[in-house]
């Protein structure tokens, strides 16, 4: 059968034409003027030709479908080979986003089947285009606010805008995504008995009075402030996870993600890392919101992805902080970026953002103990890689203008 598959489309067509010609030639010869035995032989030849034509048609169809199903895997990044028993089907919602696409890469490299689902509000097809057509990969355009039906073993639920200007752009949609979206996925997890991980956030701690923040801290969130659509959205998502676990036995994981950065952040992301790097690269003023005494702790995206996978594969249903405890004031952070870029940007102060958390640093003892996880990439190392990425992105933008 392999031999037949190797027959090229053009040779199949050529043979088809030759046989069709012979068919008509012989048909014209099968007239009653020939003796019975000769015309009998001709009729049986005609029958054989018809059978061959049928077979050619079948091979033609088979080859076309083989071409559809078997892309050349050498054109893709390398993936681990796994047999059916060890290969999982994994759904990643928000799979074309900044964090989602890096998670998809890692799961693909590990040899699993991955379904990346996104509504492309902040995600981009470009982030996963290197997998499109791979037999282990599927890209689905879908909004989690509507139910989605599929058979999977694990669900990483990352779908939601995460940058403050993005989640504040349509606060009602942000609440719907985190509440209705999470209910829809928990319903799916319950039906197909999939393990589900929620990408929650350090924002559940609000503007914290406890520092650094352990998972046992309940937080301080303004329920009617501009950030509440996201903060309360994620808080209710956590509550839903716990309720489905208690009531419906869904196997849950909750990751509380602290500020994360790295390549594939959007130029218009609007968060501090991308804003400062782009401003520095363009020698434009670096904009600090407020006095700059507020602090953040920044983790590189590959550490987060390792943490998410370690959490999914752990046994804990407790929330776990994933972040890098290396803490800086925003004022200090602006100088670090300017120096790394070698920029001449002035540093300017703008009005403070409303309800901006004044301090943030993860207590990662639980992650260390339960997942044996801690961040590996220093902030400076990660920033250098991210600066390279944005430099190239800006060059591409200039080329497009
Ligand atoms: O990066 C993240 O992972 C987190 O980012 C945001 O939280 P936030 O800490 O407010 O993120 P940024 O917008 O990056 O702001 C960090 C600090 O820098 C300041 N900032 C931001 C942008 C800017 O141009 N200038 C500036 O001073 C902000 O006011 C804030 O104090 C999201 O709300 C979180 O869900 C998300 O997990």
Sort residue 22 into left (φ over 0), alpha (ψ -120 to 50) or beta.
alpha
* Atom 30, ligand 1: residue with shortest CA distance: 356
211: DSSP letter: S
For residue 29, what are the contacts with CB-CB under 8 A and spacing of at least 6? 42
Q: Which atom of ligand 1 is nearest to the CA of 202?
A: 37
ipTM surpassing 0.95, yes or no? yes
CA quadruple 232, 238, 241, 247: dihedral, nearest 10: -80
> How distant, in Å, are the alpha carbons of 46, 99, 296, 314, 380 from that of 260?
72, 8, 10, 22, 13
Rounded Cα distance between 198 and 193, Å, is: 16
How many other C-beta atoms can be found within 10 angstroms of the C-beta atom of residue 134?
Answer: 18
Q: Which atom of ligand 1 is nearest to the CA of 276?
A: 24
Q: Give me the tens of pLDDT residue by residue for the chain, a chain 401 residues long.
A: 333 344 444 454 455 555 555 665 555 555 444 445 656 676 677 777 777 776 766 665 555 555 555 567 789 999 999 999 999 999 999 999 999 999 999 999 999 999 999 999 999 999 999 999 999 999 999 999 999 999 999 999 999 999 999 999 999 999 999 999 999 999 999 999 999 999 999 999 999 999 999 999 999 999 999 999 999 999 999 999 999 999 999 999 999 999 999 999 999 999 999 999 999 999 999 999 999 999 999 999 999 999 999 999 999 999 999 999 999 999 999 999 999 999 999 999 999 999 999 999 999 999 999 999 999 999 999 999 999 999 999 999 888 87
CA of 271 to the centre of ligand 1 (A): 5
Q: Which atom of ligand 1 is nearest to the CA of 167?
A: 33
pTM of the model: 0.85
* Atom 21, ligand 1: residue with shortest CA distance: 272
Buried b (16+ CB within 10 A) or exposed e, 213-230: bebebebebeeeebbbbb
CA of 373 to the centre of ligand 1 (A): 24
Q: Clarify whether 230 is annotated catalytic.
A: yes
């Amino acid at each position: 059968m392999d031999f037949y598959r190797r027959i090229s489309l053009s040779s199949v067509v050529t043979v088809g034409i030759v046989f069709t010609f012979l068919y008509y030639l012989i048909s014209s010869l099968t007239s009653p003027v020939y003796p019975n035995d000769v015309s009998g032989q001709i009729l049986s030849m005609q029958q054989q030709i018809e059978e061959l034509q049928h077979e050619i048609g079948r091979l033609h169809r088979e080859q076309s479908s083989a071409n559809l199903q078997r892309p050349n895997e050498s054109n893709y990044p390398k993936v681990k080979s796994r047999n059916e028993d060890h290969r999982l089907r994994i759904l990643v919602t928000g799979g074309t986003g900044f964090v989602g696409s890096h998670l998809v890469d890692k799961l693909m490299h590990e040899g699993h089947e991955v379904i990346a689902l996104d509504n492309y509000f902040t995600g981009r097809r470009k982030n996963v285009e290197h997998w499109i057509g791979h037999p282990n990969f599927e890209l689905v355009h879908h909004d989690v606010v509507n139910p989605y039906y599929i058979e999977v073993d694990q669900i990483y639920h990352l779908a939601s805008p995460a940058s403050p200007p993005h989640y504040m752009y349509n606060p009602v949609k942000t609440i719907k995504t985190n509440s209705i979206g999470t209910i829809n996925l928990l319903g799916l997890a319950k039906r197909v008995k999939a393990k589900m991980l929620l990408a929650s956030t350090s924002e559940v701690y609000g503007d914290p009075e406890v520092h650094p923040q352990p998972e046992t801290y309940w937080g301080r969130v303004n329920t009617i402030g501009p950030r509440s659509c996201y903060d309360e959205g994620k808080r209710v998502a956590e509550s839903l996870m716990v309720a489905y676990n208690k009531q419906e036995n869904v196997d849950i994981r909750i990751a509380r993600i602290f500020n994360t950065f790295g390549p594939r952040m959007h130029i218009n992301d609007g968060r501090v890392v991308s804003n400062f790097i782009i401003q520095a690269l363009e020698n434009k003023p670096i904009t600090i919101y407020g006095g700059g005494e507020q602090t953040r702790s920044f983790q590189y995206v590959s550490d987060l992805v390792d943490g998410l996978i370690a959490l999914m594969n752990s046994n804990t249903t407790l929330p776990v902080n994933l972040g890098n405890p290396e803490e800086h004031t925003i004022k200090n952070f602006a100088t670090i970026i300017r120096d790394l870029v070698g920029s001449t940007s002035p540093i300017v102060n703008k009005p403070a953002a409303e309800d901006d958390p004044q301090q943030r640093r993860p207590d990662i003892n639980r992650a260390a103990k339960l997942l044996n996880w801690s961040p590996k990439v220093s902030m400076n190392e990660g920033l250098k890689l991210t600066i390279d990425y944005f430099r190239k992105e800006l060059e591409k933008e200039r080329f497009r203008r």
